[in-house]
Amino acid sequence: MDHPQTQMIRRKFADSQVILIDHYKEVFNRPAQSFAAQSHSKKLILARKEGTFLHEGSQYSDGFDYQQFFYASSIMGCLYDCDYCYLQGLYPSANTVLFVNIEDAFEQLRPYLGKDTLVATSYDTDTLAIESLTHQTSMWLDFADQYENLYLEIRTKSANIKSLKSITLNPRVTLAWTLSPQEIINAYEHATPSLEKRLGAVVEAITLGWKVRLCIDPVIYTEKFAILYTELIEQVFRTIDPEAIEHLTLGSFRMSQSHLRSLKKLRRSDVAFYPYVVRDEMATYSEAIETHILETLLAKATQYLPKERIRTWQRQS
Amino acid sequence: MIYLITALDAEARPLCEYYRLKRDTSLPYTLYRNEEIVLVVSGMGRTNALMAVSALLGWRIPEEKDILINIGICGAPSEYRIGEALLIHQILDGDRRYYPDILYSHSLRETSMRCVDVPQSVLSDYPVDMESSPIFQAASRFFKLHQMAFLKIVSDHCTPELVTKEGVIELLRSHVNSLDTLISRLSAVQKQPPLFSTDERNTIEVFKTHFTKSQGSAIDDALTYFRLRNKGEFPPLNPLIPNSKRERSQLLEELIATLTA
């Protein structure tokens, strides 16, 4: 309760109902919660994290060949509500837990910073989406400023980059925007900014001098996939100078089978019920569809970018 | 169905009058009901509440759209006005804490509540009652947390000896509208209509009997995908089922491909 971040956040919610709890798990991990029902009325849980903030990057994501790749988990849950998100399978609750003691994450990271290290700060959530509330991205950027071996990836769907305007540029920080066709945003990415707004934020970040990566990942395969996603790439590069971006990442939907099972129980979205191929506990599209997705998108993307600046995620066979 | 739980007959009486509930003798508890509501009078205290709610919910197992409300009087510290209706967001019971999910907007005062074993004559830090914790524990085996609510009306400032039967009836009568509003808010939270009509579900189940369990799951998934994508009527599921295992698998593959194309 006395932590400065707790006090700052409570001031922003001066009129909100406050319930005192002993441990975040007594609310977040309750049995008999409905993720789907809670999604429409999310609560904010402020807590102190006891264990490690840092976790090794998983096989589902790209570590960009750094010597070490971690993701930091300072928030559980997300402001946004994407039907394909593995958080629905990972967590029993749609509420958000915000760990206020982010300074402990920095302490835990310090011993590793003798080598080039990539830290994804918004792997388990969209930190930039709630930056005005938490200021955690700013704190990460201040910390990264002090360590030459520390590289950050801040992945987002947010259109709010106001906080970045007052921060000194750091060439070791990459802002990565997840982009989807508007039709896919409407269908599956609830409560997220429109494509137009995301592209506006990308343009603004580039103008400010930030290093930017674009991620068309996950690609959701539908009958209109080829039209929707090739039009997306056209729209992106009508708006953004290809020379101004570091990479374009392409990847089709994939998820661990256990998370997919949990997603099915929610019965919220067709994404969970597509007949994916499961191998080694990973569910994704059949090899033929996956190849079709990547070939179609690569053919379009290479009209704008050299192949070496396009990164693709594909199941290792 | 709306499940109402009260501890006392006096708490139930104004509700029975308002909702025109009729006595029902199906259980060895005082039970009232109409087509939409069933009300049980549990009796006071932990054991009575636990047994009555378990009996009620075991007798008529709740469905996905059902809700449960525990309504009754409580003692409270003096900052709570006598007659004030409270919506409980945390139940404290010794070291245990329970949290009904309040996922709807409302105008009631929210508070924590301490569940105790005997009527309290000493002011507590929170309002107190004697049934909320066991009701929560029993009901959360049957309901999701957002399907339950605990509505308490302050009857006294820890002077239980001053609480009369007539006073309780009057307190509850003055809050039937609060209960009515709570019922509609709570009911509105879980409006997820079934994906398939009863006829469709029956057809699907009959069709699945021709396949293995895992093939049946694949059929369910593909039909759910089809329906969630709002593709309307799904294709007929009653073609001639081939005898050969290989041909059945082929048929299944084609059906899934059609549904998920």
Indicate yes or no: CB of B89 within 8 angstroms of CB of A19.
yes
pLDDT of A315: 61
Are the beta carbons of B122 and B158 closer than 8 angstroms?
Answer: yes
pLDDT of B231: 67
Are the beta carbons of B219 and B204 closer than 8 angstroms?
Answer: yes
Tokens representing A299 are 């053919």
CA distance linking residue A152 with residue A174, whole number of Å: 6
The answer to whether A13 contacts chain B (CB < 8 Å) is no
Closest-CA distance, B66 to chain A, in angstroms, reads: 14
Q: At residue A235, does pLDDT exceed 90?
A: yes
B171: Cβ contacts below 8 Å, ≥ 6 apart: B73, B83, B153, B155
Residue closest to A219 by CA, chosen among A203, A208, A230: A230
Q: Pick the range with the lowest mean pLDDT from A41-50, A54-63, B249-258.
A: A54-63
Break chain B into its structural domains and give their ranges.
Answer: 2-189, 198-260
Touching A: B residues 3-62, CB under 8 Å: none
Q: At residue A63, does pLDDT exceed 70?
A: no
Contact residues, chain A, for B90 at CB < 8 Å: 19, 21
- Supply φ then ψ for residue A272, to 5 degrees: -70, -20
CA distance linking residue A210 with residue A208, whole number of Å: 6
Q: At residue A317, does pLDDT exceed 80?
A: no
Indicate yes or no: CB of B260 within 8 angstroms of CB of A274.
yes
Helix/strand/coil for A229: helix
A191-227 residue pLDDT tens: 999 999 999 999 999 999 999 999 999 999 998 999 9
Task: Nearest chain A residue to B191 by CA: give it.
Answer: A37
Tokens representing A58 are 């998983």
pLDDT of A24: 96
- By Cβ distance, the residue of A30, A223, A273 closest to B145 is A30
In this prediction, residue A61 has a pLDDT band, given cuts at 50, 70 and 90, of low
Sheet harboring A44-47: ordered strands across? Answer: A44-47, A96-99, A75-76
pLDDT of B50: 97
The answer to whether B241 contacts chain A (CB < 8 Å) is no
The answer to whether A183 contacts chain B (CB < 8 Å) is no
Within 10 angstroms of residue B257's Cβ, the number of other Cβ atoms is 11
- By Cβ distance, the residue of A19, A27, A274 closest to B112 is A19
CA distance linking residue B248 with residue B226, whole number of Å: 21
Name which of B86, B97, B219 to mutate to probe chain A: the one with the most chain A Cβ atoms within 10 A of its Cβ: B97
DSSP letter string over chain B?
-EEEEESSHHHHHHHHHHHT-EEE-SSSSEEEE-SSEEEEE--SSHHHHHHHHHHHHHHS---TT-EEEEEEEEE--TTSPTT-EEEEEEEEETTEEE-----S---SEEEEEEE-SS---S--SS-EESSHHHHHHHHTTTS-GGGEEEEEEEEESS-GGG--HHHHHHHHHTTHHHHHHHHHHHHHH-----SS-HHHHHHHHHHHTTS-HHHHHHHHHHHHHHHHTT--SPPPS-SPPPSSHHHHHHHHHHHHHHHH-
DSSP letter string over A82-140?
ETT-THHHH-S-SSEEEES-HHHHHHHHGGGTTS-EEEETTSSS-GGGGHHHH-HHHHH
pLDDT of B194: 81
Indicate yes or no: CB of B228 within 8 angstroms of CB of A273.
yes
pLDDT of B92: 97
Average pLDDT, chain A: 92
In this prediction, residue A229 has a pLDDT band, given cuts at 50, 70 and 90, of very high
- Supply φ then ψ for residue A283, to 5 degrees: -100, 130
- By Cβ distance, the residue of A19, A38, A273 closest to B221 is A273
CA dist list (Å): B35 to B1, B2, B20, B24, B256? 8, 9, 10, 12, 41
Helices (H) and strands (E) in chain A, counts: 12, 16
Q: What is the mean pLDDT of each successive set of 10 residues along chain B, which is 261 residues long?
A: 97 97 96 97 96 97 94 96 98 96 96 92 88 98 97 94 94 97 92 82 90 92 90 73 84 89 83
Average pLDDT over residues A228-246: 96
Residue closest to A229 by CA, chosen among A294, A274, A159, A314: A294
Residue identified by tokens 């047994």 is B51
Contact residues, chain B, for A34 at CB < 8 Å: 101, 144-146, 190
Contact residues, chain B, for A275 at CB < 8 Å: 218, 221-222, 225, 256, 260
Indicate yes or no: CB of B140 within 8 angstroms of CB of A40.
no
pLDDT of B246: 87
Are the beta carbons of A223 and A179 closer than 8 angstroms?
Answer: no
Q: At residue A316, does pLDDT exceed 80?
A: no
A71-123 residue pLDDT tens: 998 999 999 999 999 888 889 999 999 999 999 999 999 999 999 999 999 88
pLDDT of A237: 97
Touching A: B residues 166-205, CB under 8 Å: 189-190, 192, 195
Average pLDDT over residues A276-295: 93
Residue A64 or B176, more confident: B176
| Topology at the third CATH level for domain B2-189 | Rossmann fold (3.40.50)
